[in-house]
């Protein structure tokens, strides 16, 4: 799967273009590195969030791809200062939302409780992103036209960022690319036509 195709898939799944994609496509050359520090507990927390989004079944889940560490790197290197702050604050907000919904913290919640919470947050995030994009559409076009790089947009929803990074990190990881989807090392043999059977995995390459 090519990177641009993956970014399109993520946009469809989250209702928002890939956040930080301008840095992703240029090799993450963000000139505004984050001063925010992620604790070991934050990494473990993000691993569990990612595993709830892509759980292990007959194939590895997001935790096998060390998704928490991946999120830390991407947020630090590829996000604006506004989104970096929103993301780190989102960890506490997700924990608060879990306590409000289930009377228990996320790390102690059952898999079903975690799933119910993230489904609700996903719905909330998609609504937030749509309203944000609709509101900023004209402002964004004007800023681009005037090459105004100092214009500051509202932060993206923390769960949109977590979900996008989980999908991107997993499907570009070794476990995701070689076990969750079909993979053939390149160069490989050429087959012009390959029969498809219902349930077949998509090809990574």
User: Could you tell me the pLDDT band of residue 66, with boundaries at 50, 70 and 90?
Assistant: very high
Region of 79 (left: φ > 0; alpha: ψ -120 to 50; beta: rest) is beta
Q: Is pLDDT larger for residue 135 or for residue 124?
A: 124
Q: Is pLDDT larger for residue 102 or for residue 3?
A: 102
Q: Please check the confidence at residue 157 and state whether its pLDDT lies above 90.
A: yes
Q: Give me the pLDDT at residue 131, please.
A: 92
Work out the average pLDDT over 104-124: 97
Assign 3-state DSSP to the chain and report helix, strand, coil percentages, each to 5. 60, 0, 35
Mean of all residue pLDDT scores within the chain? 82
- Going from N- to C-terminal start, the domains of the chain cover 3-180
Q: Give me the pLDDT at residue 116, please.
A: 97
Q: Using one digit for the tens of pLDDT, what is the confidence trace for 11-34?
A: 888 888 888 866 665 555 555 555
Which value, to the nearest 10 degrees, does the dihedral of the CA atoms of residues 158, 161, 167, 170 take? -90
Work out the average pLDDT over 51-68: 92
Q: At which residue do the structure tokens 């970096």 appear?
A: 84
Q: Give me the pLDDT at residue 54, please.
A: 93
DSSP 17: P
Distance in angstroms (rounded) separating the CA atoms of residues 186 and 173: 16
Rg of the chain's alpha carbons, rounded to an integer?
18
Q: Using one digit for the tens of pLDDT, what is the confidence trace for 130-153?
A: 999 888 887 777 766 676 666 677
User: Could you tell me the pLDDT band of residue 6, with boundaries at 50, 70 and 90?
Assistant: confident
Distance in angstroms (rounded) separating the CA atoms of residues 169 and 175: 10
Q: Give me the pLDDT at residue 185, please.
A: 39
Tokens of 58: 């007959």
């Amino acid at each position: 799967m090519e990177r641009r195709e993956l970014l399109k898939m993520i946009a469809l799944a989250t209702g928002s273009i890939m956040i930080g994609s301008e840095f992703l496509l240029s090799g993450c050359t963000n000139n505004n590195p984050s001063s925010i520090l992620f604790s070991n507990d934050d990494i473990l927390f993000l691993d569990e969030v990612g595993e709830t989004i892509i759980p292990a079944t007959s194939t590895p889940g997001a935790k096998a791809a060390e998704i928490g560490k991946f999120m830390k790197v991407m947020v630090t290197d590829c996000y604006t200062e506004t989104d970096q702050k929103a993301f780190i604050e989102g960890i506490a907000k997700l924990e608060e939302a879990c306590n409000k919904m289930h009377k228990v913290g996320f790390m102690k919640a059952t898999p079903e409780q975690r799933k119910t919470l993230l489904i609700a947050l996903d719905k909330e995030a998609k609504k937030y992103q749509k309203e944000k994009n609709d509101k900023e559409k004209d402002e964004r076009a004007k800023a681009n036209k005037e090459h105004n790089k100092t214009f500051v947009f509202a932060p993206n929803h923390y769960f949109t960022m977590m979900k996008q990074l989980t999908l991107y990190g997993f499907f570009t990881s070794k476990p995701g690319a070689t076990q969750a989807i079909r993979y053939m090392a390149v160069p490989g043999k050429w087959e012009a036509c390959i029969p498809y059977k219902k349930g077949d995995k998509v090809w990574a390459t």
